[in-house]
Structure 1
Amino acid sequence: MSKSIVTLRKKAISQGRMSLYLDFYPPVWDSRANDYTRREFLKLYIYQKPADQYQKLSNSENLHTAELIRARRQNEINKSEIYSPFEKEQLQIQARGNESFLQYYKKLGEKKTGNNLSIWNCAIAHFEAFLNGNDLLFKDVTVTVIEDFRDYLLKARSMRKNNKQISRNTALSYYNKIKTTLKGAYKEDKLRTDINSKIGSIKEMESQRNFMTIEETRKLFSTPCPNSLVRKISMFSVLTGIRYVDIAKLLWSEIHYIENDGYYIIFRQKKTQGAETMPISDEAFSLLGKRKGEKELVFKGLNKWDVDRVLPVWVALSGINKHITFHSFRHTYATLQLTAGTDIFTISKMLGHRSVKTTQIYAKVIDQKKRDAANRISLG
């Protein structure tokens, strides 16, 4: 193993001065920057051409101080080479404990993309607000700290202009980001305790899922739509349960046909990044039109603004008195499948849900509809 060397160096700066710094080879770990570095600036300066006795004396004192620091750093590095395995392990634990958990959290967030990146950035911003401008080292991460952050999120207000209190489900989303970070830190031995397994959770609040019955669905699609492309993708979503973002980016290379089996879409969900192989009906395939180049969009010319503008008008023209958004078509697909008798596990797979628990909300909706129907008949 090559010996570590610490060298005192100088760097020219303004006003005829030189900054003194240490050069480490190989690089050493800097717990403040949460990364390896070759330099440690000492905040000591000397004059390149001392003009008087005072500047000469200042140069001499600062060089002497810098050399003492260099010798101390060299001694610290040399000592680490003669420690016993146990002592080295303890030093490593101590070093990891002095690393920044906040910086680790930020670096994890930087790896995300798209809408997921935006959510991570918001979650990190709230964590920084919770820390009130302070850093948080790994050694100071405790169950109490994380649960205090959970309590903060349940009362936190949006950082946008409206300053409204964030919803419980938004708080849950942000809290899950810190839980993911804790899992990763424990797996990498940066945390000595699996804090994620010890902390409490935030219970998800079931959001209202507006959907259409089969009668309302047929009524909508029998009503002329002001935009034919909006009608086409709306029907495609009802027949497949695919989200708008995935429909908008669908390529012809993702449309496949298997002999004696039928048509499939093989794509990656934008929201979950999960790879999906989804069979689609002949009726859904017929909406795609004439096949084009493999790298071309299936629904070319699609614009979300047009969808958001046209859809409420179209729903109103059909006489449906419900607040229907494009995402309601995904909910409609799920509830129509359940009503038709498709089992919940199959629907969960078709929707690309990671857990069947996410799909069970639709079963509760159907059960409530059955209860409402049962209560409509009374002999009293």
Structure 2
Amino acid sequence: MSISTKIYLRSDASRGTRKSGLLPIYLRVIINRRKKEYFLNLEIPKDLWDAEGCIVKRNTKFPYQDMNAILSVAKMKIGKIVLDTRLSDRNITLIEFDRLFSRKTFDDGSFYAYAENFLAENKHKFASETIRTYTSQITKMKQFRPELKLEDLDESFLLQYERYILGTLKNKTNTHYKSMGFIKTVYHHALEDGLVKEGIFKKFPLTKKEGNREHLNKEELKKLENLLDKKLIPYQLNVLHYFLFSCYTGLRYRDMKNLSFNNIVGENSMVQLEMHKTKEIIKIPLTPRAKKLIGEGFQNQKVFRVATNQVTNRYLKELMNIAEIHKIISFHSARHTFATCSIDFGIPIEVISKLLGHKKIATTQIYAKIMDSVKIREMEKWNV
């Protein structure tokens, strides 16, 4: 691999001299005969440039110290990228160099600085919930170990952190899975960058426990529908409306919150929207039951007044008590209800998968297994 770098004062004719009389300082990088130049956001008079030392000369009328500090950071970043590449005995491309050099912060191997850069670089790819989750994971790790180097990530650290999560914090299995999964994601990214050498997670497998998929059966759903004809407190009726709509469509909480009348197309016959979580476009035909709940409104007007998830779940508890449904139901149970009832109605699993927006049919098949377990449990009543 051939790599060369140079910091220089650019005075070529194509740019010309600035009106201010200042010239820009650039970094030139050449890797395997491919060249890229970076403006370092510094401009100085030509006579203040020390070409041999690649620094700004001392001048009481110019902030030469601040500029040299910026140049020093740039040099350290360049040196670290080149050194890490050579130590890891791998070739680096110009694209990889650009990604590493363009990071906003320079770090000394800190896991946290690297993780924060990883988030910043991928912000456009991640949902807002993912950003919040990853940020909270970094905070959680800092509480356990305020300073952490990438090189300190080994089996011993993972075991200690696991004991902290499960023992001290009393986190449940899936919370533990998310915490360790975050470290694994960042670690694998560092592995690709050549900053770490071993895949420690080969010796540290992560297993996810299947979460609670509590749902309503057809009879319980009917009990809730009957509440539409009862005298409910306005806030209860409001929550009942959008919870039932989710039971009829399988929409997640965030999609219900964002749902506006311009998502209702074809004379109120279909919901069409981009799912917040996956960015996939889904189309869901509306049944007569669902159509009765949406009313009319302006194009950009929200279809429902959706309360916060916490408040919604509190009001759902009240509704379950009124309907005499003895289950712990959250808003997300509506999506599970849609899936399990659809299976019970005989809708093909492939169709249900499309309606839910699942990328893998295996995700949808979990609901089929749930229905099988329910059938087995109910058939055991014959043994009484």
TM-score normalised to structure 1 length = 0.67
Structure 2, gaps ≥5 residues long: 1-5, 9-50, 91-96, 101-106
Corresponding residue for residue 358 of structure 2: 353
Deviation of 1:237 (Å): 0.6
Question: Does the C-alpha gap of structure 1 residues 157 and 144 become closer, same or farther in structure 2, counting only changes over 3 Å?
Answer: closer
Counterparts of 1:102 and 1:199, CA distance in 2: 23
Name the amino acid aligned to 1:121.
T
Q: How does 1:104-143 map to 2 (within 5 A)?
A: 104-110=114-120, 111=123, 114-130=128-144, 132-137=145-150, 140=151, 143=154
Equivalent pairs counted in the alignment come to 309
Q: 2:239 aligns with which of 212, 224, 230?
A: 230
Cα contact 2:257–2:306 (8 A) shared by 1:
yes
* Greater CA drift, 191-200 or 327-336: 191-200
Corresponding residue for residue 50 of structure 1: none
Deviation of 1:10 (Å): 7.5
Q: How does 1:325-364 map to 2 (within 5 A)?
A: 325-364=330-369
Corresponding residue for residue 214 of structure 1: 218
Corresponding residue for residue 90 of structure 1: 86
Q: Secondary structure at the match of 2:296?
A: coil
Cα contact 1:6–1:24 (8 A) shared by 2:
no
Question: Does the C-alpha gap of structure 1 residues 195 and 313 become closer, same or farther in structure 2, counting only changes over 3 Å?
Answer: same
Counterparts of 1:173 and 1:88, CA distance in 2: 30
Name the amino acid aligned to 1:133.
P
Counterparts of 2:364 and 2:200, CA distance in 1: 25
**CA-to-partner distance for each residue in 1:220-276, whole Å, 9 max, x for gaps?**
1112243332222121111011122211111223233399xx52322232xx24223
**CA-to-partner distance for each residue in 1:121-159, whole Å, 9 max, x for gaps?**
2211233344x222314xx265536xx32652354169x
Q: 1:6 aligns with which of 55, 68, 88?
A: 55
Deviation of 1:322 (Å): 1.7
Matched, 1:289 2:295: yes
Structure 1, gaps ≥5 residues long: 13-17, 37-75, 81-85
What is the RMSD of the two structures over their aligned residues, measured on CA atoms? Answer: 4.0
Q: How does 1:73-88 map to 2 (within 5 A)?
A: none
Counterparts of 1:10 and 1:167, CA distance in 2: 61
Q: Secondary structure at the match of 1:371?
A: helix
Name the amino acid aligned to 2:244.
M
Name the amino acid aligned to 1:124.
I
Q: Secondary structure at the match of 1:320?
A: coil
Q: Secondary structure at the match of 1:165?
A: coil
Q: Percent identity?
A: 23
Matched, 1:149 2:158: yes
Question: Does the C-alpha gap of structure 1 residues 181 and 332 become closer, same or farther in structure 2, counting only changes over 3 Å?
Answer: same
Cα contact 1:7–1:24 (8 A) shared by 2:
no
Q: How does 1:268-307 map to 2 (within 5 A)?
A: 268-269=275-276, 272-283=277-288, 284-293=290-299, 295-299=300-304, 301-304=305-308, 307=312
Corresponding residue for residue 207 of structure 2: 203
Cα contact 1:263–1:281 (8 A) shared by 2:
yes
Name the amino acid aligned to 2:119.
G
Q: Secondary structure at the match of 1:326?
A: coil
Question: Does the C-alpha gap of structure 1 residues 286 and 267 become closer, same or farther in structure 2, counting only changes over 3 Å?
Answer: farther
Larger radius of gyration: 1
Counterparts of 2:329 and 2:241, CA distance in 1: 16
Matched, 1:256 2:261: no
